[in-house]
Amino acid sequence: MQTTQSYIQGQWKQGKGEGKPIFDSITGEHFTNINVDGFDVPEVLAYGREKGDTLRKMTFQERGNMLKALAFHLQKKKRAFYDLSYRTGATKMDSWFDIDGGFGNLFANASLRKLFPNQPFDVEGDPIDLSHGGRFMAHHILVPKEGVAIHINAFNFPVWGMLEKCAVNWMAGVPAVVLPAPQSAYLTEAVVKEIIASGILPEGGLQLISGTAKNILDSTESQDIVTFTGSAKTGRLLKNHPRLLEESVPFTMEADSLNASVLGEDAVPGTPEFDLFIREVRNEMTVKCGQKCTAIRRILVPEHLMEDVQIALGKALDKVTLGDPRLKEVRMGSLIDKNQVEAVKKSILELSKTAELVYGDFDKAKTIGADYAKGAFMKPILLRENHPFENEAAHITEAFGPVSTLMPYKTLEDAIKLSKKGKGSLVSSIFTNSDIIARDYTIQAASHHGRILSINRESAKQSTGHGAPLPNLVHGGPGRAGGGEEMGGKRGIKHFMQRCAIQGSPTTLSEITGIYQPKADYKDAEKHPFAYHWEDIQPGMSLKTHNRTLTDTDIINFGNLTWDHFYAHTDITSLEGSIFEQRTAHGYLIISAAAGLFVYPNKGPVAANYGLEEIRFLRPLYHNDTIHVRLTCKEKVDRDQKGKELPSGIVKWYVEVFDTEAVEEEDKLVAIATILTMVQKKQTTFHEVDRSFIQEKLSELDESATAQWGLMRPQHMVEHLEMSLRIATGEISNFEINTPEEHIEQVQETLYNYEKMPKGYKMPLMKKDELELLKYEGLSEAKMSLLEAYDNFVVFFREHPKAITKNPVFGELTSFDWKLLNRKHFNHHFQQFGLI
């Protein structure tokens, strides 16, 4: 019998003894066991804390790219996960929420790297001046906690439940120990096996305890973080664990909640909103067989529409087919196991003490492709509570399955009060085409719900739905829902970091934060800052410009050019009673003049102006005032290589405009701005290719050289390079482009990055598994012909600079494209023969 394993302390292990049997939710087959007995849990946590140093030292950009690579890797393997997910009773759509939704969390959190600095910690907010004159200041930083994130997860989302939390703690630089629920831990195990096998995550970044380790909290420390998803009752017990209280360990709980969906008074039968409401309630009752913490448990309907909703919901539920989730005609699978079936039945009986069961029953149902008696099947159940203010059961008892309760309201105020009787939920929704109703419900009900979704005919097509948490939004809720706030974009990452207020001089804090702070010491650059590549620019690097006097003519001409004829610039007879004393320079003239002073005119690493982040004018400048500028590197932000752009990063420049002739210190600074430039990165991967480089390497090549990969011999390689040059000049053109047209652009973009060519790739014009016939008598003649071909290449594009010629892999290429290809191609083959 198979046993689901755990991954701890760098090894795959299983507990002692036979363990607990786990059954296929559809067939009832006993196919695996769960056992975590005998694990040294304190050592598991200690291992994560120790190994977590690797994650903590990675920059946000490195962590984000790690998540991105992991998401791509897992996507390629997802078919196997789907096959296993069917055992949990999940349909293909249910599995999509769990599996692809989990991968989506990795992608979404990976993209957040762009919001963080290019370092392992974050700098939060703006600097704070603690003194007159700004020589003593404060800032806030957030550093990764030095513990582990302990995730205790529920059975209903074995993949998403893990990855939606891990993606966040990994971005924060914190390792994870995951405890999936025993009933579906085998699916979590399968995903973790792929994560570990990929080698993308540093060792210790993820450990898996496949089941319930009851002593997991006994050895937690103050730097650890615990998250829990499950029942509110269990969550409250864990939250009050003595060790958590003693060590002040952060504990985040996402508990089951009685989520409410409201049908607006205007959404009568025949309106799109009524139909959307019926469809959404049915979906929330049946997706994952109702086993969702965000599912609709309470259906709030205007009392005069109760019969209409009950009939419409009954008809919608009639279309729900039960059975083997692998079959496309099956709409709903099963609960996780028969124990859950009994638990749901027990809750329904509690609800039915006051509510009437109006749809469904506990009798055997027709199933497609499965045996009802063997699987954990249950029909959808709809109850009706006619007195929701008097009877409490529907507001305190959750049946965690395909169950929901219909209840009436008289006014919107009543609906708001009913929604609050659940004492806190993860999500609520309202279906209305009235923005006034949506506003009133949202503002007045928001205190009791983690998220509120307003749906109407305009938003429905693109809406993610009532029950879909999104990684860029806070996921959690008050009260019964646990009080947690998982995910939520950047703020979710901060939950796993320690905030620290730092104080000191601007120069000291610039050094600590890696971000230039106003009034810090400048680091005068040896040459113009725009002449440096991205890697060589450092925060604080600064340039003081020459002076420029803003004349009356400058102001008038700028107004005529821009059509900005504001009276302060054009009508000096109207200045009385204003803050202006003379003809005033336009604010944007000041910034434009500043740019003229600091811009470097020569072509260099600065590829483009990337934008303006902030700008402020501190006091007016008048005609004949003279200015100079300080341009200082404020911060560097890494950037992914995109399209046909050479790799680059973003540099934020702090621009200070000074009145050169001002006497008083407080009058000197007249404007500040933060501008962004795209700056090219150094190319250090390849040797640049020219004739002397080729000639030098060919002189080192002889017949005895052996290839480090592939079939080629020295002369074959030389003749291959010659052929590529003759293709570039169009001398060889009797071939078709092998790459499909829809992929050409993507393939051409690879020429612009600094990544090496893959080893062993066969160019389409070459024979597959045998060597080409040689053209020349010997290697010396081949070398001479290669140099001649290179000379012809240079002359051809000098005489035809706009020529476009075709390549069998990369399609039609310009002169610049060919130079990029030659750089990669020559380096690739010279490395193949150990010449570089």
**Joined tokens for residue 640:** 């992914």
453 neighbors 269 (Cβ within 8 angstroms): no
Question: Catalytic residue among 189, 254, 280, 485, which?
Answer: 254
The tokens of 12 are what? Answer: 């795959």
Mean pLDDT of 231-246: 92
Model confidence at 490: pLDDT above 80 = yes
Q: What is the pLDDT of residues 52-64, one digit of tens each?
A: 999 999 999 999 9
What value does the mean pLDDT take over residues 585-609? 94
Question: Mean per-residue pLDDT for 642-657?
Answer: 94
d(CA 313, CA 817): 61
List CB contacts of 213: < 8 A, sequence separation 6 or more.
36, 39, 41, 179
Cα–Cα distance measured from residue 90 to residue 266, given in angstroms and rounded to the nearest whole number = 36
pLDDT of residue 762: 78
- Dihedral over Cα of 479, 484, 489, 490: its sign: positive
**Separation of alpha carbons 558 and 584, rounded Å:** 12
Which three-class secondary structure state does DSSP give residue 703?
Answer: coil
User: Would the pLDDT of 249 be above 90?
Assistant: yes
Known catalytic membership, residue 254: yes
**CA angle (302, 304, 309) in 5-degree steps:** 70
Pairing of strands 322-323, 367-368: parallel
- Give residue-wise pLDDT tens across range 121-137: 999 999 999 988 778 99
Sheet holding 137-144, edge to edge: 122-129, 137-144, 497-504
Please give the Cα distance from 203 to 51 (Å, whole number).
Answer: 7
pLDDT of 520: 94
Helix or strand or coil: residue 577? coil
N-term to C-term CA, the chain = 54
The closest alpha carbon to 44, from 173, 177, 138, belongs to 177
pLDDT class of 1 with cuts at 50, 70, 90: low
Distance CA 165, CA 228 (A): 10
Give the Cα separation of 321 and 329 in Å (integer): 7
Q: How far is C-alpha 206 from the chain's CA centre?
A: 19
**CA-wise closest residue to 8 among 221, 279, 280, 210:** 210
Sign of CA dihedral 109, 110, 116, 119: positive
Instruction: Fill in the amino acid letter for 113.
Output: R
Which helix (H) or strand (E) segment is 251 a member of?
strand 251-255
Identify whether the C-beta of residue 476 lies closer than 8 Å to the C-beta of residue 495.
Answer: no
**pLDDT tens readout for residues 335-380:** 999 999 999 999 999 999 999 999 999 999 999 999 999 999 999 9
Residue 605 CB-half CA count within 13 A: 20
* 18 noted as active-site residue: no
Give the pLDDT band of residue 39 (cuts 50, 70, 90): very high
Averaged over 749-763, what is the pLDDT?
A: 90
Tell me how far CA of residue 366 lies from CA of 323, 339, 348, 771, in angstroms. 8, 21, 21, 65
Mean of the per-residue pLDDT values of the chain: 94
Phi/psi of residue 773, each to 5°?
-70, 140
Distance CA 823, CA 836 (A): 13
- Answer whether 322's CB lies under 8 Å from 332's CB: yes
Cα gap 414→235, rounded to integer Å: 30
Q: Which residue has the tokens 């995109």?
A: 642
Is-contact 584 569, C-beta < 8 A?
A: yes
Q: Is the pLDDT of residue 74 over 80?
A: yes
Instruction: In whole angstroms, give the CA distance from residue 494 to residue 821.
Output: 43
Question: Whole-model pTM?
Answer: 0.89
The residues, ordered by sequence, that sit 6+ positions from 787 with a Cβ below 8 Å of its Cβ are 691, 694, 695, 698
Q: Which tens digits make up the pLDDT trace of 308-335?
A: 999 999 999 999 999 999 999 999 999 9
Helices 815-832 and 779-799 cross at an angle (nearest 10°) of 160
- CA–CA dist 487, 109 (Å, integer): 9
Segment 164-222, tens digit of pLDDT: 999 999 999 999 999 999 999 999 999 999 999 999 999 999 999 998 888 999 999 99
**Can you tell me the distance from the alpha carbon of 188 to that of 823, in angstroms, rounded to the nearest whole number?**
45
Q: Give the pLDDT score at 664.
A: 85
Of 164, 293, 398, 635, the catalytic one is 293
Closest CA to 381 of 282, 469, 307, 475: 282
Closest CA to 416 of 306, 270, 265: 265
Q: Is 267 helix (H, G, I), strand (E, B) or coil?
A: coil
Q: How does strand 381-384 pair with strand 403-409?
A: parallel
Q: What per-residue confidence (pLDDT) applies to 419?
A: 98
Residues 6+ apart with CB under 8 A from 214: none
